[in-house]
Amino acid sequence: MTEPIRIFHNPRCSKSRQTLELLTERGIEPEIIRYLETPPTELALSDILDALGLEPRQLMRTGEQEYKELGLDNTDLSRTQLIAAMVATPKLIERPIVTANGKAAVGRPPENVLTIL
């Protein structure tokens, strides 16, 4: 059985809404994960990062106040520490993220997600 297509979604984010609309226009009804309410586990986020080919800081919203308040710009922090911070403060996770077929893409721009479908 194949895994469902998932979107880590923030309905207040225009890019997230546009990405969801792009999927539904193509007849895809993804599983919607409101990651601010239900953040991914550390293992799930690590798997997403691996699928994206990114390190944690590359998927972080570094302009958020919490990024600076939590000292996440400290280059001595490990991958594990950064992932834990993202799970504890999901607002720091760039959005939207779509996962499908063991792959992942960030919907910035929304059309990026088409490459994994």
Place of tokens 């490990």: 78
Q: Which residues contact 108 (CB under 8 A, 6 or more apart)?
A: 15, 94
Question: Would you say 107 and 98 are in contact if contact means Cβ atoms under 8 Å apart?
Answer: yes
* H helix intervals, the chain: 14-25, 42-52, 65-69, 79-88
Closest CA to 89 of 106, 112, 71: 71
Give the residue numbers annotated as catalytic, written as ranges: 13
